[in-house]
Structures are given as structure tokens and as C-alpha cells.
């Protein structure tokens, strides 16, 4: 088989939307850093929501991006919390998939800390093929060809074979 057609995990993003600024955000940041072992970054609101007191530029969330071995290791833990089962609707047309975990203590090996409380988070997995660098490089950026993009069916097949995920309709 052509090595350029192999699919691999580009990155795993762990995202927490707190919706509030201050102490809650700091607790979420500490929990995510403990779970992943990586430094978390605060995310800012893009739109105004007067009912919730949210305005553009206000820090309301936390995210961590993992790549390489760390990403695969964390993904296996997160999938174990979901019993390696994902719905078909959680895959998008570009070959990525995402799922949510309602309580962080569902992850194996994570203990409850009464000071920090319990948070839920989203796990987003981006898949790619070798050659996707052409869309990110600084010079001579180019589009990834239509035949080289990952389809939903290919992403589902990869998840079943390589990650041992059971995809349900």
C-alpha cells in the first residue's frame, strides 16, 4: 500500500467550556493540567451573550493540545471511559471525530478532589495523512487535493482498526 495513504492522529484537543471567569476557570485549568500532564491555555469568547454575562474577549474556557505518544496515551484513557463506543454522528466529513466526557473522574486512575470539584470536557481528534503539511507551511501554501482528504468512512474504518472503537449508528 502507498505510505502516503496511511492515516494517523495529528492531534487530540481537550476542551473545557466553563462559561465563567475567575475561580471556576482556574479550577478547570488545574484539573485539565493534572489529567493531561500538559500546560493548559485559556480560550476567549468570540460572541456576546448578555443573558450569561459573556462578552467578546472574556476568558471562559481552557484547552490542551496533545500530539504524538501523549495524544495516543490520553485518547486510550478517554475511550476507556466511553467503553470504546462512539456514535457514527460524532464523525465529521473531514475525517475528524469528537466525544464528550461528563465527569473527569470517569477517566481511569483519576481521583476526586473536593477542592476542585468535577468538570466535564470534550475530546476532539484530528486525523491526517502524510502531506497535509502543505496547508500549514509558511511558504507556498497549497490546498490538500480532494482525493488525498480523509472521508467519514475512512475515519470510521481507521477508528475501528487502529483504536478498537465500536461505532454505533
DSSP label at residue 91: B
Question: What pLDDT, on a 0 to 100 scale, did the predictor assign at position 139?
Answer: 95
Give the dihedral sign, CA 136/91/61/119: negative
**Predicted confidence (pLDDT) per residue in 110-122, tens digit:** 888 888 888 889 9
Looking at the chain, the whole-number percentage of residues with pLDDT higher than 90 is 59
pLDDT at 105: 86
| C-alpha–C-alpha distance, residues 106 and 82, integer Å | 9
Pairing of strands 121-128, 97-101: antiparallel
Q: What is the largest CA-CA distance in the chain?
A: 55
> What parts of the chain have a pLDDT lower than 50?
none
Q: What class does CATH assign to 3-168?
A: alpha beta
Domain segments of the chain as ranges: 3-168
Query: For the segment 49-81, what is each residue's pLDDT rounded down to a tens digit?
Result: 888 888 888 888 999 999 999 999 999 999 999
Amino acid at each position: 500500500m502507498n505510505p502516503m495513504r496511511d492515516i494517523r492522529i495529528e492531534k487530540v484537543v481537550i476542551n473545557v467550556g466553563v462559561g465563567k471567569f475567575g475561580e471556576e476557570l482556574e479550577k478547570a485549568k488545574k484539573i485539565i493540567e493534572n489529567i493531561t500532564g500538559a500546560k493548559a491555555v485559556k480560550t476567549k469568547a468570540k460572541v456576546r451573550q448578555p443573558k450569561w454575562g459573556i462578552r467578546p474577549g472574556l476568558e471562559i474556557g481552557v484547552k490542551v493540545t496533545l500530539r504524538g505518544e501523549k495524544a495516543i496515551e490520553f485518547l486510550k484513557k478517554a475511550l476507556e471511559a466511553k467503553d470504546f463506543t462512539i456514535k457514527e454522528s460524532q464523525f465529521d466529513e473531514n475525517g475528524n471525530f469528537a466525544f464528550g466526557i461528563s465527569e473527569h473522574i470517569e477517566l481511569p486512575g483519576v481521583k476526586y478532589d473536593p477542592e476542585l470539584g468535577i468538570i466535564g470536557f470534550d475530546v476532539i481528534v484530528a486525523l491526517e495523512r502524510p502531506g497535509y503539511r502543505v496547508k500549514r507551511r509558511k511558504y507556498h501554501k497549497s490546498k490538500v487535493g480532494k482525493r488525498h482528504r480523509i472521508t467519514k468512512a475512512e475515519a470510521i474504518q481507521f477508528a475501528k482498526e487502529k483504536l478498537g472503537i465500536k461505532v454505533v449508528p
